[in-house]
Structure 1
Amino acid sequence: MILLSLLLAAGQITPVQPIVKGTGLPPAVATEEAGVMVPIDALFAALAARDGQAILAQVRADGGATVAEEKPDGTRSIRRMAWPAFAAMIKPGPERYAERLTDPAVDIDGDIAMVWSPYVFTIDGKVAHCGTDHFDMVREAGRWKIANITWSSRTTGCAVQ
């Protein structure tokens, strides 16, 4: 116990156990975790509505989006976009977009939180790509906002869940 106290004081270990990948449960409706999910759910609704301005209402202006893409031939790329560029990619159209998290894990410490989850993105009900979403969240004036999104993206090994 003394060693644990010394390591905690020295900042050499995390005082709270980290999230075990893939073990998160959907947050109960009236929990702080559910509050963290509100802007994420609103972002997905805005994506489905193809409304870039509604996306911007859920984010901190100084953040952005990063995608780590793996192409079917194995080549990889990483692309970073400020929120206005991300929102500008979302244009009206006839296709139906849907993104679904499958087993989100939510971790909160005061006014910061993270959400980590596998996801599947569909267009007109067909899988377009999948991967893992990581949302970096902050609470300002009692309201959660998305500071950053980072996601992996691949077109192989995806399954609708």
Structure 2
Amino acid sequence: MKKIFVFVIVLINQFSLAQENEIQLTIGKFFNAFHQRDSIALKKVCSENLVLHSISESEKGSQFSVEKAANFYKSIATIPLSIKFEEKILSFKVQVDGAMAHVWTPYEFYVNDKLSHSGVNSFQLFKENDGWKVVYILDTRRK
């Protein structure tokens, strides 16, 4: 009986790790598309109802902003090639409950190899028939 219990626990852990890896892969695809300025690839990993919010923190206080998905895709696609940018993800923390996942990713954002700002991304994902989709992004931004 003990062997069956251990076997079931191992199977559950493997399933959980596989799900977390699939979610991390989705976030990886998001950032690959982001860095390539590829709005079409971004749309493939995001829900058609994507919601984007940001919290900018400065000496003047915090400011909450909302961005429409269409504006986000357009802004990414129109970044001039002369501008080098990179969002370095420092770590991943994934939480899953059925078809819902939350990913917490502290980051540093560089423009032309100079640190622009840092913060945390909070991604909410939903598992659709064709895989995990980003449905909500809330990020913080600190100079």
Which residue does 2:51 correspond to in 1?
64
Pick the aligned partner of 1:114 from 89, 102, 118.
102
Paired residue total: 125
1:77 corresponds to 2:63? yes
Which residue does 2:113 correspond to in 1?
125
> Shift in Å at residue 37 of structure 1?
1.4
TM-score scaled to structure 1, two decimals?
Answer: 0.72
> Shift in Å at residue 142 of structure 1?
4.5
Q: 1:146, 1:61 → 2: CA distance?
A: 9
1:140 corresponds to 2:137? no
Unaligned residue ranges in structure 2 (runs of 5+): 1-16
* SS of corresponding position for 2:91: coil
Pick the aligned partner of 1:50 from 23, 37, 55.
37
Higher helix share: 2
Q: 2:27, 2:60 → 1: CA distance?
A: 30
1:122-154 deviations in Å (ceiling 9; x for gaps): 112211111011000011004011001100001
Which residue does 2:140 correspond to in 1?
152
Identity percentage of aligned residues: 23
Q: Which moved more, 1:131-140 or 1:38-47?
A: 38-47
Higher strand share: 2
1:56-90 deviations in Å (ceiling 9; x for gaps): 2211011221110013x333211112211211111
Are 1:56 and 1:84, in contact at CA under 8 Å, matched by a contact in 2? no
Unaligned residue ranges in structure 1 (runs of 5+): 1-29, 156-161
1:80-131 deviations in Å (ceiling 9; x for gaps): 1221121111114111221122121100111110001211111122111110
